[in-house]
Amino acid sequence: MTGALHDPRVLVSEPAKWVAALRESDPAWSPRCVFRCETGAGAHAGPSGRFAHLHYEAEVYAWVLERFGMAGVV
């Protein structure tokens, strides 16, 4: 779950509460449910700018691939 500190539409506390509720409802979710807060510029889609946005998306995909045991697979 990602959230943005400077998002005017959704307070950063909302995704944080959702992650906490998921973790509490099912302990199996705890290691897989991570909250990432974007502290820089940008809102729902991450930072602005072509390369900054691509870097953000690459970090998210790298985390997902690592969770599925596919990190380093070419």
pLDDT attached to residue 31? 72
pLDDT tens track for 16-46: 999 899 888 888 777 778 888 888 766 656 6
Q: What is the mean pLDDT of residues 34-62?
A: 77
How far apart, in whole angstroms, are the C-alpha atoms of residue 39 and residue 62?
Answer: 19
Query: What does the CA dihedral 6, 53, 63, 33 come to, rounded to 10 degrees?
Result: 30
Q: What percent of the chain shows pLDDT beyond 90?
A: 4
Where in the chain are the domains? 2-67
Is pLDDT at 57 greater than 70 in this prediction?
Answer: yes
Q: Pinpoint the alpha helices (H) of the chain.
A: 13-25, 50-67
Length of the chain measured in residues: 74
